Amino acid sequence: MSSATATNEADPWLDRHLPTLAGGAVFEIGCGGGRDTRVLVNAGCTVVAIDSASAAIERARAAAPAAEFHCQDLRAPWPTSVSHVDAVVASLSLHYFAWAETVAIVDRIATTVRAGGVLLCRLNSTNDFHYGARGHRAIEPNYYSVDGQPKRFFDRAAVDRLFAEGWNLREVEERTVMRYTYPKVLWEIVATKAANDG
């Protein structure tokens, strides 16, 4: 497992992708307080971002006022301004759902990205022991109730299954980051939409 380290204030995972993303239309799923949104806007991207927490959306608006924000569950219909975008960014936002719902969300993402467009995604690893990957009640395999909240963890086989239809996996790497108080283990994924899908 490789290591990518950042401080709690900076998690520069998008930096290496910015030359590809710059100037493009980006849909950000689960923007939180706007840390990544600000990076994308500063790189010249046109960003539409969603998050289910109203307080997070307010912080994100302050961090990146040029972006368009919507407060909504990501399972709800997406904003009408999101169509055939160049890229989707989903950092640690796809892990709250049952497997069937997770697959359905990734399928919806594929209908949103233009052919050849990119999905930059980070998913909890089954090795993410500091943040719930062990010691909690199982709902489904690798899907636990963590302090009352459902949370999914992925091994490599699950990553491959999730992106088996409509995507070409370009990069899949298990990484350790210092985004929070303790080291967090996650999968960092770069997938492109298959040209013959939609």
Asked if residue 156 belongs to a domain, the reply is yes
**Interval 7-25: pLDDT, tens:** 334 679 999 999 999 899 9
Percentages helix, strand, coil for the chain (3-state, rounded to 5) are 25, 35, 40
Q: What is the pLDDT of residue 79?
A: 94
CA distance 180 to 178: 6
User: Which CATH number belongs to the domain containing residue 90 in this structure?
Assistant: 3.40.50.150
Q: Answer yes or no: pTM beyond 0.85.
A: yes
* pLDDT value for 129: 94
The answer to whether position 146 is within a domain reads yes
CA proximity to 33, closest of 61, 9, 12:
61
Provide the β-strand partners of residue 3. 176
Q: What pLDDT score was predicted for residue 48?
A: 98
What interhelical angle do 54-63 and 35-42 show, nearest 10? 30
For the chain, the maximum distance between any two Cα atoms, rounded to a whole number of angstroms, is 44
Position 2 scores a pLDDT of 35
106 lies in some domain? yes
Segments in the chain below pLDDT 50: 1-9, 197-198
Tokens encoding 105: 């969300």
Task: Please name every residue paired with 144 in a beta bridge, in sequence order, or none if there are none.
Answer: 138, 151
Q: What is the pLDDT of residue 179?
A: 81
- Give the whole-angstrom CA distance, residue 190 versus residue 110: 13
Q: What is the pLDDT of residue 22?
A: 87
In a domain, 20, yes or no: yes
Residue 32 covered by a domain: yes
Contact in structure between 90 and 29 (CB atoms under 8 Å): yes
- What whole-number distance in Å separates Cα of residue 90 and Cα of residue 32? 11
Is residue 198 one of the residues assigned to a domain?
Answer: no
Chain-centre distance for alpha carbon 54? 18
Distance CA 163, CA 17 (A): 20
Count of structural domains, the chain: 1
DSSP state of 129: G
Each residue's pLDDT tens digit, 23-54: 999 999 999 999 999 999 999 999 999 999 99
In a domain, 121, yes or no: yes
Domain that holds residue 143: 2-193
Distance between first and last Cα of the chain: 35
